[in-house]
Amino acid sequence: MKLGILSDSHGRHERTHKAVQLLLANGANELAHCGDIETERVIDQFAGIQTHLVFGNCDPDWRALSRYALGLGVLVQHPLARFVCGGRTFAMTHGHDSDCVAAALHEGVNYLLHGHTHICRDEHHGATRIINPGALHRASEFTVALLDTDTDELQFWVVA
């Protein structure tokens, strides 16, 4: 199972579209977006694709965006998502709320996904692997990540 991980679209729907297509072309079975969506047009890029979504500090109208996403079949859990993919446990939050990060680490999930910093991250905290895919806006390179849950291989991809 391959999980495509994105974050910090900040309304850039065209770049988000390119990121989604890149992840799907490289075998992503599901997607996870770690927040800072900002617009419905970004959410439109996930229509018809198994996608998990949280919102970030730049999503003040997250309730309306959540209703819109749910209407498209996008899975929304905010501010802390929990899901299973490829038999592995995941928690996902935007990253700006330290209480959500601490709660996820306390649960001992296999993976904690977050965004917010706009910087790629791949490190371990105890038994939990923490992954930040980077950002699709306000970054020196626009990046996403692809995680193979069978092999635990993580790849970062630049979105041109």
Q: Which helix (H) or strand (E) holds 59?
A: none
Confidence band (pLDDT; 50, 70, 90) for 37?
very high
Length of the chain: 160
Give the largest CA-CA distance in the chain. Answer: 38
Task: Give the per-residue pLDDT at 31.
Answer: 98
Q: What does the block give as tokens for 17?
A: 């579209």
Q: How many CB atoms are located within 10 Å of the residue 94 CB? A: 27
Reported as a single tens digit per residue, the pLDDT across 129-156 is 999 999 999 999 999 999 999 999 999 9
Task: Give the per-residue pLDDT at 67.
Answer: 97
pTM, 2 dp = 0.97
CA angle (89 as vertex; 159, 25 as ends), nearest 5: 30
Task: Give the per-residue pLDDT at 100.
Answer: 94
Task: Give the per-residue pLDDT at 133.
Answer: 98
Confidence band (pLDDT; 50, 70, 90) for 29?
very high
Segments forming the whole domain that contains residue 47: 2-158
Cβ partners under 8 Å of residue 85, min gap 6: 1, 3, 30, 149
SS3 8: coil
d(C-alpha 143, C-alpha 83), whole Å: 23
Q: What is the mean pLDDT of the chain?
A: 97
Task: Give the per-residue pLDDT at 135.
Answer: 98
DSSP, residue by residue, 113-128: E--SS-S-EEEEETTE
When divided into structural domains, the chain yields a total of 1
Which CATH number characterizes residue 92's domain?
A: 3.60.21.10
SS3 68: helix
Task: Give the per-residue pLDDT at 109.
Answer: 96
Reported as a single tens digit per residue, the pLDDT across 55-70 is 999 999 999 999 999 9
Omega prior to 79 cis, within 30 of 0 = yes
Reported as a single tens digit per residue, the pLDDT across 43-58 is 999 999 999 999 999 9
Provide the β-strand partners of residue 14. none
